[in-house]
Amino acid sequence: MIGRGPALQQLRDLVSASRAVTLIGPGGIGKTTLAIELARNLLPEFDAGAFLVELASLSDPDLVPSTVATTLGLKVEGTGVTSSEIARAIGTTKLLLVLDNCEHVIDASASLAPGLFTDKLLTATTPGFFDMSGIGAFIAALFTGLFIGTIAFAFVADRFGRRTVFTYSLLWYSICSLILAFQDTAASLMFWRLVGGIGIGVELVTIDAYVSELVPKASRGKAFAYQLGGGFLAVPTVAFFAWLLVLFAPLGVSGWRWVLVIGSLGAVVIWTIRRQLPESPRWLAQRGRLAEAEAIMARIEAQVEAQVGRPLAPPGPAPTELRRPGRYLEIFEPVYRVRTVMMLVFNFGTSIGFYGFANWVPTLLIAQGIQVTRSLEYTFLIALAYPTFAFLGVSFADRTERKWQLAALSIGTAVCGVIFSLQT
DSSP state of 393: G
In the chain, domain spans: 5-116, 135-277+331-421
Q: Confirm if 278 and 300 have CB atoms less than 8 A apart.
A: yes
Give φ, ψ of 133 to 5 degrees: -110, 0
Tens-level pLDDT at each residue, the chain (424 residues): 566 778 888 888 887 766 777 787 666 677 888 888 888 888 888 888 888 888 777 666 777 888 888 888 876 555 567 776 777 777 767 888 888 776 544 444 444 444 333 555 565 555 555 666 666 677 788 888 888 998 888 888 888 988 888 888 888 888 998 998 888 777 888 899 899 989 888 888 888 888 888 888 888 888 888 888 887 787 777 777 776 776 666 777 777 788 888 878 876 777 677 778 889 998 898 888 999 999 998 998 888 888 888 888 887 777 666 666 667 788 888 888 998 998 888 888 877 777 667 666 666 665 555 555 555 666 677 778 888 888 888 888 888 888 888 888 888 888 888 887 787 6
Q: Is 322 helix (H, G, I), strand (E, B) or coil?
A: coil
pLDDT confidence of residue 366? 57
Reported for 259-268, long-range contacts at CB under 8 A and 24+ positions apart, including other chains, are: 260/177, 260/178, 260/180, 260/181, 261/177, 261/178, 261/181, 263/174, 263/177, 263/234, 263/238, 264/174, 264/175, 264/177, 264/178, 264/181, 265/174, 266/170, 266/174, 267/170, 267/171, 267/174, 267/175, 267/178
Reported for 246-253, long-range contacts at CB under 8 A and 24+ positions apart, including other chains, are: 246/118, 246/372, 246/376, 247/18, 247/19, 247/20, 247/114, 247/117, 247/118, 247/372, 247/373, 248/17, 248/18, 248/19, 249/17, 249/18, 249/19, 250/17, 252/16, 252/17
| CA separation for the pair 373, 144 (Å, rounded) | 28
H/E run at residue 335: helix 334-351
What's the topology of domain 135-277+331-421?
Growth Hormone; Chain: A; (1.20.1250)
Predicted TM-score of the model (pTM): 0.62
| CA separation for the pair 259, 178 (Å, rounded) | 10
| CA separation for the pair 36, 52 (Å, rounded) | 8
Q: Which residues of 333-365 are buried (b: 16+ CB within 10 A; e: fewer)?
A: eeeeeeeeeeeeeeeeeeeeeeeeebbebbbbb
Q: Confirm if 365 and 378 have CB atoms less than 8 A apart.
A: yes
pLDDT confidence of residue 115? 35
Q: Confirm if 38 and 15 have CB atoms less than 8 A apart.
A: yes
Q: Confirm if 124 and 134 have CB atoms less than 8 A apart.
A: yes
